[in-house]
C-alpha cells in the first residue's frame, strides 16, 4: 500500500474526528457565517485544453458530493489568466444536464435567484472585476453528486521565441486562527507529507494545435508525456492525476527558420465565416537595412515629480542606448508647452548621444500637462529617405482630453508608430494602451524603478528589430477585422488578425516590407485549418475594441448596445452579460432549508491548506461523517486503482 493511499485512509478517520481550520483561497464555496460550514468534497477535477495558434480553449469539469445531509447552495470563485473569457456553463445532476445560456447581467441574476427560491437546481457565472469570476450553484440535493463544467478561453503568451500556456490548479490560502485540536491534526498531516497538506487531484490534457512546425515541448513543473501527430501534439501528465500542488505551465518552441511563420485557422458560426491569421517572428532578426527615425518624448509636468521623473530619465537613457549609426533621433520634453533638443531629427553618433544624455539629465518636473503640442511636433513632418519613424512617449497619462488626443493621433500619425511607456504607480494605463493602439505600437508599464532595466531592454530590442513593417492584409472580399489598424511585426511579439465576413473564398495576401525588401505571402483560404474558438475570439476582439473606445456621452449608449449585442450573439460573459442555467423542474420544496457552503482549492506547493468543518446543524451526526469518509475513501481507491492499471499496462 502506497504512502498516498495510507494518507487517504487516515483522512477517512480524521473526517469524523473534528474540524480543521477554514482557508480562503481562489476557489471556494461560500458559507453564511451564521450557518456553519461543511466540506463539499471535490471527488474529481479534469481539465481539457485545446490550443489553436495563440488561443487556448479550456473546459474544467469538477464533481462535488454534497455530504451535509441538507440542501446546499455554493459560491465558487476562481481567477482566470489575463484576458480570459467564460462562455460555457453546464450542470449535471444525476441524469439531468442543465445547459447555461447568456443573458443580460441583471436579468441573469434575477433568473437565478427566482429559480433558487422555487427550489430548482440553478447555476450562474458572473464576472466580478478584472478576471475574477463567480459560479453559483443552488439546490444541490443531500447525498447527491453534482458535476459543473465551465468553458473559457485564455490567451497564449509568446516571449523570447517561446510560447507559454499557464493554468492555475491551486491558490495560496490565508488561515484564520486555529484551536489546539486543529493544530495537532495539522501537524500530524504535515509530518506525513513533508510539511504539506493533501492536495486535490487534477487530471489534465492539452491538445496542442499550433499551426506551426514545432521544436521542443516541455512543462515547467510537471512530468509530461507528449505524442506527435504531424505538427500537432497531445500532452498528458505522466502520473495521470497530479497531487503536487504546483500550477501547470506548458512551453513550446516553433522550429526556427529565420523567417516569419504563419498559422491560419477558420470557423463558421452564425451563418458567417471567421478566420484568424497569426504571424510569428523568427527568434532573432537583424534589421540592418531598416534605418529608423526615433523621437523620444518625455513628460516633465508636475505630476511626474520625484520618482516618476527619475524613472523617466533612466528610461530615456535606455532608449538612447538602443540607437545605432544610421539612425536619426530627437528628444522632446513637455509640460504645458513642448521643447525639443534639436529643431529637426539629426543623425545618431557618439557626439549627439553625449549631448542628448546631458540634456536628459538636466530635465526637471513642473508645470501643467498638454500632450497635444509634443505629439504634433513629433508627427508633423514625414521622415525622409524611407526611415521607419518610431515615437516613444514616456508619461503617466494624467490628462483630461483623452478623446481629443486619440483623434489627433489618428489624424496626424501618418506612417509613424507610437509606443507609450507608463511610469510609476497610478498611471492612466487604459488611456496609454488605447493611445498606443491608435498609433500602431504597444504599451509598456513600469511601476517600480527596479523593473526599468528589464522593461526598457525588452522595448529597445523590439524597436530595433522590426521584422515586417507597413503590413497590409488583402482580403478576397470586404471583412470586419481586428485590430482595425494592423501593427508591425517585431521580434518577440507575434501578430494576430481576426476577421469576419458573410462568405470567404480565394486567397488572403499579406504584404509588407522586411529589411528594405518587399514581403508577400499568399495564403489560400482552403488551407486554413478548421478550429473551434475562432468565432468567439472575433466576438471578444470586437467587445474589447468597443470597451476601449473613448466616445462622447451621446454615443455611450450605442457602444454599450454593441457590447451587449455581440456578447449575446457569441454567448460570451462580459461587463453586460452573465451565464445562467436553470433546471425547470423544482427539486427542493420551499419548506426544506438551504445551507450555503464553501470549498477551498488545493493549497499551493510549499504552503499549508485546510479542509472545512462540519456545519453547525450537522456537526456531529454519524451519517454525515460516514458520507464524508466514504467519499474520501472513494477518492483514494479510485486514484490508486488507476495508478495500478496504468503501471500494469506499461509492464
For 418, the enclosing helix (H) or strand (E) is strand 417-423
Based on the fold, state whether residues 202 and 323 are members of the same structural domain: no
Q: Of the residues 414, 430, 464, which one is the last residue of a structural domain?
A: 464
Q: For residue 422, tell me if it sits in a domain.
A: yes
503 domain-assigned: no
Q: Are 642 and 241 in contact (CB under 8 A)?
A: yes
For residue 247, what pLDDT is reported?
A: 78
Task: Please tell me whether residues 135 and 205 are part of one structural domain.
Answer: yes
Based on C-alpha coordinates, what's the Rg of the chain?
Answer: 28
Task: Say if 270 falls within a structural domain.
Answer: no
Q: Identify which of 506, 571, 487, 578 has the alpha carbon closest to the alpha carbon of residue 536.
A: 571
Do 358 and 431 have their domain in common? yes
What per-residue confidence (pLDDT) applies to 48?
A: 93
For residue 198 the three cell numbers come to 493533501
The Cα–Cα gap between 302 and 130 comes to 30
pLDDT score, position 422? 87
Spatial contact of 576 and 560, defined as CB atoms under 8 Å apart: yes
Residue 73 lies in a domain: yes
- Residue 320 shares a structural domain with residue 453: yes
Q: Total domain count for the chain?
A: 2
* CA dist 505 → 256, 275, 322, 482, 524 (Å): 30, 11, 44, 19, 8
Question: Please, are residues 228 and 272 in contact by the beta-carbon 8 Å criterion?
Answer: no
In CATH, what number is assigned to the domain containing residue 378?
3.40.50.410
Task: Please indicate, yes or no, whether residues 298 and 425 belong to a single structural domain of this protein.
Answer: yes
Nine cell digits for residue 292: 529608423
Measured between alpha carbons, how far is 505 from 648 in angstroms, rounded to an integer? Answer: 51
Tell me, yes or no, whether 241 and 315 share the same domain. no
The predicted pLDDT at position 291 comes to 86
In a domain, 244, yes or no: yes
Q: Give CA–CA dist 417/408, Å, rounded.
A: 14
179 with 242, same domain: the answer is yes
Q: Which pLDDT score, from 0 to 100, does residue 273 have?
A: 95
> Consecutive sets of 10 residues in the chain, 651 residues long: mean pLDDT of each?
39 32 32 46 78 87 75 72 75 82 92 90 78 77 81 81 79 37 42 44 88 87 88 87 75 84 90 92 81 91 84 88 89 91 92 93 88 88 79 83 83 89 80 86 84 82 88 94 90 89 92 91 91 87 84 87 93 86 62 47 42 29 40 43 43 46
Residue 514 maps to a domain: no
241 in Cβ contact with 203 (< 8 Å): yes
Q: Name the domain boundary from 464, 494, 512.
A: 464
Asked if 236 and 351 sit in the same domain, the reply is no
Q: Of 103, 76, 79, 154, nearest to 576 (Cα)?
A: 103
Same domain for 329 and 233? no
Question: Could you give the CA distance from residue 334 to residue 297 in angstroms, rounded to a whole number?
Answer: 8
Query: Do residue 241 and residue 300 come from a single domain?
Result: no
pLDDT for position 41? 57
Q: Counting Cβ atoms within 10 Å, is residue 240 exposed (0-12), middle (13-18) or buried (19+)?
A: middle
Decide which of 449, 464, 479 is a domain's last residue.
Answer: 464
Distances (CA, A) of 507 to 228, 247, 468, 472, 473: 30, 42, 20, 14, 11
Residues 304 and 383 placed together within one structural domain of the fold: yes
In a domain, 477, yes or no: no
The CA-CA-CA angle for residues 436, 441, 443, to 5°, reads 55
The SS3 assignment for 549 reads: coil
Could you tell me the residue range of the domain that residue 598 belongs to? 3-11+26-250+576-615+625-642
pTM for the whole structure: 0.68
Query: Are 329 and 245 in a shared domain?
Result: no
Q: What pLDDT score was predicted for residue 481?
A: 94
Distance CA 508, CA 521 (A): 8
User: What is the distance between the alpha carbons of residues 639 and 585, in angstroms, rounded to a whole number?
Assistant: 35
Does a structural domain hold residue 605?
Answer: yes
Amino acid at each position: 500500500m502506497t504512502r498516498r493511499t495510507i494518507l487517504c485512509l487516515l483522512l477517512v478517520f480524521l473526517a469524523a474526528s473534528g474540524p480543521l481550520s477554514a482557508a480562503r483561497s481562489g476557489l471556494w464555496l461560500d458559507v453564511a457565517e451564521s450557518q456553519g460550514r461543511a466540506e463539499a468534497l471535490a471527488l474529481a477535477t479534469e481539465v481539457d485544453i485545446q490550443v489553436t495558434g495563440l488561443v487556448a480553449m479550456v473546459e474544467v469539469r469538477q464533481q462535488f458530493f454534497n455530504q451535509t445531509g441538507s440542501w446546499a447552495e455554493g459560491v465558487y470563485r476562481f481567477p482566470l489568466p489575463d484576458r480570459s473569457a467564460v462562455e460555457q456553463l453546464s450542470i449535471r445532476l444525476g441524469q439531468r444536464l442543465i445547459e447555461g445560456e447568456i443573458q443580460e447581467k441583471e436579468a441573469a441574476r434575477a433568473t437565478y435567484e427566482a429559480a433558487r427560491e422555487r427550489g430548482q437546481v440553478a447555476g450562474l457565472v458572473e464576472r466580478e472585476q478584472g478576471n475574477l469570476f463567480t459560479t453559483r450553484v443552488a439546490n444541490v440535493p443531500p447525498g447527491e453528486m453534482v458535476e459543473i463544467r465551465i468553458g473559457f478561453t485564455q490567451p497564449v503568451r509568446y516571449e523570447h521565441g517561446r510560447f507559454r500556456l499557464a493554468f492555475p490548479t491551486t491558490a495560496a490560502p490565508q488561515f484564520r486562527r486555529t484551536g489546539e485540536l486543529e493544530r495537532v491534526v495539522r501537524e500530524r498531516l504535515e509530518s506525513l507529507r513533508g510539511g504539506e497538506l493533501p492536495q486535490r487531484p487534477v487530471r489534465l490534457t492539452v491538445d496542442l494545435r499550433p499551426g506551426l512546425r514545432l521544436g521542443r515541448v516541455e512543462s515547467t513543473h510537471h512530468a509530461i508525456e507528449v505524442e506527435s501527430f504531424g505538427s500537432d501534439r497531445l500532452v498528458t501528465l505522466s502520473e495521470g492525476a497530479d497531487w503536487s500542488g504546483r500550477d501547470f505551465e506548458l512551453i513550446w518552441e516553433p522550429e526556427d527558420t529565420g523567417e516569419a511563420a504563419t498559422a491560419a485557422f477558420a470557423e463558421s458560426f452564425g451563418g458567417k465565416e471567421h478566420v484568424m491569421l497569426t504571424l510569428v517572428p523568427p527568434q532573432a532578426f537583424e534589421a540592418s537595412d531598416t534605418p529608423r527615425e526615433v523621437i523620444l518624448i518625455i513628460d516633465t509636468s508636475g505630476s511626474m515629480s520625484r520618482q516618476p521623473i527619475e524613472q523617466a530619465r533612466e528610461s530615456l537613457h535606455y532608449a538612447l542606448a538602443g540607437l545605432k549609426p544610421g539612425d536619426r533621433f530627437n528628444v522632446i520634453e513637455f509640460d504645458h508647452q513642448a521643447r525639443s533638443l534639436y529643431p529637426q531629427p539629426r543623425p545618431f553618433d557618439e557626439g549627439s548621444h553625449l549631448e542628448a544624455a546631458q540634456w536628459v539629465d538636466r530635465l526637471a518636473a513642473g508645470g501643467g500637462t498638454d500632450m497635444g503640442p509634443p505629439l504634433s511636433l513629433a508627427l508633423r513632418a514625414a521622415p525622409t529617405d524611407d526611415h521607419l519613424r518610431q515615437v516613444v512617449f514616456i508619461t503617466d497619462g494624467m490628462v483630461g482630453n483623452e478623446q481629443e488626443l486619440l483623434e489627433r493621433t489618428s489624424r496626424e500619425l501618418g506612417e509613424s508608430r507610437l509606443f507609450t511607456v507608463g511610469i510609476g504607480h497610478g498611471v492612466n494605463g487604459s488611456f496609454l494602451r488605447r493611445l498606443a493602439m491608435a498609433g500602431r505600437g504597444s504599451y509598456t508599464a513600469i511601476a517600480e524603478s527596479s523593473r526599468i532595466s528589464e522593461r526598457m531592454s525588452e522595448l529597445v530590442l523590439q524597436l530595433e528589430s522590426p521584422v515586417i513593417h507597413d503590413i497590409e492584409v488583402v482580403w478576397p472580399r470586404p471583412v470586419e477585422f481586428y485590430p482595425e489598424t494592423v501593427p508591425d511585426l517585431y521580434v518577440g511579439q507575434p501578430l494576430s488578425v481576426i476577421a469576419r465576413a458573410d462568405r470567404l473564398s480565394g486567397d488572403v495576401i499579406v504584404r509588407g516590407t522586411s529589411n528594405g525588401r518587399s514581403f508577400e505571402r499568399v495564403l489560400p483560404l482552403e488551407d486554413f485549418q478548421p478550429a473551434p474558438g475562432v468565432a468567439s475570439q472575433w466576438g471578444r476582439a470586437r467587445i474589447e475594441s468597443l470597451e476601449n473606445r473613448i466616445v462622447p456621452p451621446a454615443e455611450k449608449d450605442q457602444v454599450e448596445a454593441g457590447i451587449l449585442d455581440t456578447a449575446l450573439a457569441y454567448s460570451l460573459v462580459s461587463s453586460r452579460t452573465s451565464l445562467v442555467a436553470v433546471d425547470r423542474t423544482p427539486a427542493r420544496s420551499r419548506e426544506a432549508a438551504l445551507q450555503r457552503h464553501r470549498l477551498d482549492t488545493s493549497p499551493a506547493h510549499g504552503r499549508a491548506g485546510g479542509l472545512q468543518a462540519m456545519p453547525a446543524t450537522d456537526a456531529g451526526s454519524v451519517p454525515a461523517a460516514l458520507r464524508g469518509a466514504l467519499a474520501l475513501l472513494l477518492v483514494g481507491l479510485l486514484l490508486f486503482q488507476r495508478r495500478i492499471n496504468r503501471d500494469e499496462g506499461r509492464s
